[in-house]
Amino acid sequence: MKWQKTKKAIGNIGSTLSLIVLAVILFNVVTSKMSGENPSIFGYQMKAVLSGSMEPDIKTGSIVFIKVASDGDQFEKGDVITFITEENILVTHRIAKVKDGGSHFITKGDHNNGPDLEPVHIKNIVGRYTGITIPYVGYAFKITESRLGAALLLFLPGILLIGHGLITLWRTMRISENYRDSEAQTPNE
């Protein structure tokens, strides 16, 4: 019997911690969207990876955490960086070669056959991958960039909370009615 209670307590704690982490991420994304900034947690930005170029280390649809690049940062061969291409596309690839004394880099996706066509200038580097990845959340993260996705992100949690409150109220009323019915059927002594 004690094991059942312990198991239930561990499950409740795990669920609560998961909800807290999800709420912090959700709050962070909403506030950053409202302010027009990129979402970040404790100085680390979250970026969605929607291609398989870095598999198997970074799965398609993952969110990666990057440490934002600052002036004076040095990058070397083997670092995984997130950068902006000339087409204004965000890419996360590994540095394959350092050129021009560290001002340009040849990058390559781990799963790609060859290096990227254009060198990356140090000013286009957004940040360095920290090794922290959350699989599959990137798909939902990317949806929030659209107007409809942002609206859903703002209103869906409220609707879910109202629905949960109504279900809880309905269950409570049923329990109360069942209790009254059982009291009415019990003969008085």
Q: Look at residues 124, 122, 120 and name the one whose alpha carbon lies nearest to residue 108.
A: 120
For the chain, the distance separating the N- and C-terminal CA atoms, rounded to the nearest angstrom, is 36
Choosing from 51, 62, 70, 176, the catalytic residue is: 51
Active site annotation includes 51: yes
Active-site residue set? 51
